Structure 1
Amino acid sequence: MRIHQIRNATLIVAFGGKRFLVDPYLAEKDAYPGFEGTVNSEIRNPRVDLSTPMETILDFDALILTHLHADHFDEAAMKLLPRDTPVFVQDYSDAELIKSMGFTDVRPLGIETTFEGVTLSRTRGQHGSDQAYVYGAELLGHVMGVVFRAEGEKTLYLAGDTVWNQMVATNLEMFKPDVIVLAAGDAQVPGLGSIIMGTADIKAVHDAAPEAQIIASHMEAVNHCVLSRAELASFAEANGMTARLSIPADDAVLVF
């Protein structure tokens, strides 16, 4: 298993002999305005350049879209990605939208979906607290995580854009992942609070999965992510988490 942190939530996951491009956010630095109604909305997105060559990013076997927010699938990705690539999405609604963009092989993930020897399982998550969904359900929408399994590989759980909650706890108990990727930038929306994991959420995962290696992704690339890598590293050191928590810079590759 090789996990290549590209930028934001964009990853290349090499697993079971296949390469999966996850949540491509491929525009040049400052291409878009900040997300309206979020903290630091005056800052343009993406906040940093891509540091991975585009030919590396586009060398993949299948695409996974955990949801369709603009920092997980942007206009640049729509233009750059080949239309005949297999695309895995969370439900039939997202599938129809992706098909309308001209993609011809779009597959909603199920409990167990097999792709050339790799088993992909859709997991539930929630893009904010229960209270946030009372007031902002339409903005936050539905999201998924994905569990990767294959013969000879450790089990990988890509949690997606979720906060710590019972759904995540259940996923950890059910799949017992060896490696966990978290959206860890503590994105903030005034009035709704954190909509992805912050330090307390990450520690909760760390404590609930005492054998797993954890990777912090979705950091320092969009305006409303307020938790920096340096701050998370300091928190991890203070809380005895450094042995099992990796905080990769963009373009870093982790091997498990």
Structure 2
Amino acid sequence: MQFQQIRGATSIVTFGGQRFLVDPFFAPRGSCPPVPSPYNDLANPLVELPLPVENIIAVDAVIVTHMHHFDHFDAHAAQALPREMPVFVQSEKEAGDMRALGFRQVTPLAAEGVRFGEVELYRTEALHGDGVTAAYYYRKFDLPAEACGFVLRAPGEKVFYAAGDTLWFDGVQQAITTHRPQVIALNAANAQMYDGTPILMGVDGVREVAQAAPEAVLIATHMDAVNHARLNRADLRAFAAAEGLEQRLLIPVDGEILCL
């Protein structure tokens, strides 16, 4: 298994002989408006891609955890990806939306699993912001709140779990209990709504996952790329040192490849 951090939530996971591109977001630096935030008005994304797009899309399949949030699937990605590329999405509704863009091999993920070559993919639940405030802001900006994570299994591979855009909640615990992942990728940037309502894990969520899966290696992704994130890599490294997690919590920079 290899995990290559691209930018933000975008990564490439090489697993079971297949290369999966996760949540492609290809917009040039500063070309997207800021997410409304009392902290800053920086345009997104905050940094450029570390590789040419043609290198990034040299994969076997794409996994999109929620296609209607710009930092997980954008118009630049939709234009760059071949229409025959196999794409996995979180629901039949988003499969229809993806097909409407011209993609011809679209498969909804499922809790009971779907197969791609020797790899089995399982949908897991995510909680992309909790409570009345989060629901209000998603309605205000006409965005669906639903997101998902996924698990990969294949002969000879460690079990890989990408929690996706989620807080720590019972669904993450259930995914860990059910699948017993040995490698877990966490979108750990503590992104927040305008009023400070969290929509991604921060250090508290990372701590919960570390305790729930004490033998697993953790990978922090979705870092240092969008303006509404409140946790950066430097602060997460300081947290890992204070918690004794330096050997278990990997925090790759953009472009870095982890061999797992």
TM-score w.r.t. length of structure 2:
0.94
Moved more, 187-196 or 161-170: 187-196
Query: Contact conserved, 1:39 with 1:188, CA < 8 A, in 2?
Result: no
1:243 match: secondary structure: coil
Verify: 1:160 aligned to 2:164, yes or no: yes
Q: Distance in 2 between matches of 1:219 and 1:39?
A: 19
Cross-structure match for 1:186? 190
Q: Distance in 2 between matches of 1:148 and 1:41?
A: 37
Residues 39, 4 of structure 1: alpha-carbon distance in 2 compared, 3 angstrom cutoff: farther
Alpha-carbon distance change, 165 to 236 in structure 1, aligned in 2, over 3 angstroms: same
Determine the structure 1 residue equivalent to 2:223.
Answer: 219
Is the alpha carbon distance of 1:204 and 1:66 closer, same or farther for their aligned partners in structure 2, counting shifts above 3 Å? same
Structure-to-structure mapping, 1:92-131, within 5 angstroms: 92-110=92-110, 111-131=112-132
Q: CA RMSD in A?
A: 1.3
Residue 144 of structure 1 pairs with residue 143 of structure 2: no
Residue correspondence of structure 1 range 1-256 to structure 2 within 5 A: 1-35=1-35, 37-40=36-39, 42-68=41-67, 69-110=69-110, 111-136=112-137, 138=139, 139=143, 141-191=145-195, 193-256=197-260
Q: Distance in 2 between matches of 1:54 and 1:176?
A: 34
Total equivalences in the alignment:
255
Q: CA deviation at 1:196?
A: 0.4
Q: Following TM superposition, by how much is the alpha carbon of 1:28 offset from its aligned partner in structure 2, in angstroms?
A: 1.0
Give CA deviations for 1:186-242 in whole Å, capped at 9, x if unaligned. Answer: 101123611001011111101110000000000100110110100000011111111
Deviation string, structure 1 residues 26-61 (Cα, Å, up to 9, x no partner):
1111111112x3344510011001112323201101
Specify every segment of 5 or more residues in structure 1 that has no aligned partner in the other structure, as ranges: none
Cα distance between partner residues in 2 of 1:40 and 1:54: 31
8 Å contact from structure 1 (residues 39, 223) kept in 2: no
Return the alpha-carbon distance in structure 2 between the equivalents of residues 80 and 137 of structure 1: 28
Query: 2:52, 2:134 → 1: CA distance?
Result: 38
For residues 138-190 of structure 1, the C-alpha deviation after alignment (integer angstroms, 9 at most, x for no partner) is 44511110100000000000000000011101111111100000001110112
Would you say the 8 A contact 1:164–1:197 is kept in 2?
yes
SS in 1 for 2:235: helix
Moved more, 139-148 or 6-15: 139-148
